[in-house]
Amino acid sequence: MEILRYAAFSTDPAGGNPAGVVLDAAGLTGDEMLAIAADLGYSESAFLTGDRLRYFSPLAEVPFCGHATVATAVALGERRGAGTYVFRTNAGEVPVTVDEHGRATLTSVPASSTEIDDKDLTELLTALRWDRAELDPALPPRIAYAGAYHPVVAANSRRRLAELDYDVPVLKALMEDRGWTTVQLVFRTGPAGFDVRNPFPVGGIYEDPATGAAAAAFGAYLRDLGLGDDTVELSQGTDMGRPGKLTVTLTPGEAGVKVTGDGVRL
């Protein structure tokens, strides 16, 4: 068994989101996968058995992880060549196309968004130490889904996004109770551009550097509210010193959301 290490959504090993990748995990139990993920300490690691792909944070298994999916597809592309790889995940079937340059595009399971309960929003903002006056009224808070659930909360200033200082135990408990995987914090930088940050205390990580699952969910959020173009660029990880780029594509008539990014071996 070989444990590979890749950074997704970057061509620079110092950027993007690191992930562990095991391309032949047939001999591993779930507990052993969790132990490997905890030892690596990345936000998630991916374990491939045939066409089944499982994801583990240092604390628990998660239903879907975009950056570890991209990392796995890039690793397979380097070994088997360009093409489409279809993974069976706990959230559903996820196809990923790797082009001749090693750039991967995943298509999420059917994605959607719903209104957030006002009590949940109050508790979320309290845990984040945000005030309602700091929210962008053009981007209302919602819960978005593309294989995992993510609250979407938009700041009305880049400064608010930059000053991330949340109450870890309170936010972790709220997210575990509600079944949320990360929180998608965004600031709109232009008509088709957003800066993004993702608290991930339920995974034992203060912040995720580049979050493909949340990017896909955010695509559904924009589509449902008619707020985004067909292609949206997300910048994430800059505040952590690990800049990454995620391209979100909305295809008319397609229930899933496409997320594209590079990958590089560490």
Q: Active-site positions?
A: 44
CB 132 within 8 A of CB 125: yes
Which tokens belong to 117?
Answer: 């309960």
Q: How far apart are CA 52 and CA 38, in angstroms?
A: 21
Q: How far apart are CA 186 and CA 192, in angstroms?
A: 13
What is the DSSP track for 57-126? Answer: -SSSEES--HHHHHHHHHHHHHHH-SEEEEEEETTEEEEEEE-TTS-EEEEPSS-EEEEPPHHHHHHHHH
Q: How far apart are CA 258 and CA 247, in angstroms?
A: 8
* 4 sits in which H/E element: strand 4-8
Q: How far apart are CA 26 and CA 194, in angstroms?
A: 39
User: Alpha carbon of 149 to those of 10, 178, 186, 239: distances in Å?
Assistant: 24, 9, 16, 23
The length of the chain, given as a count of residues: 266
In 218-231, which positions are buried (b, 16+ CB within 10 angstroms) versus exposed (e)? bbbbbbeeeebeee
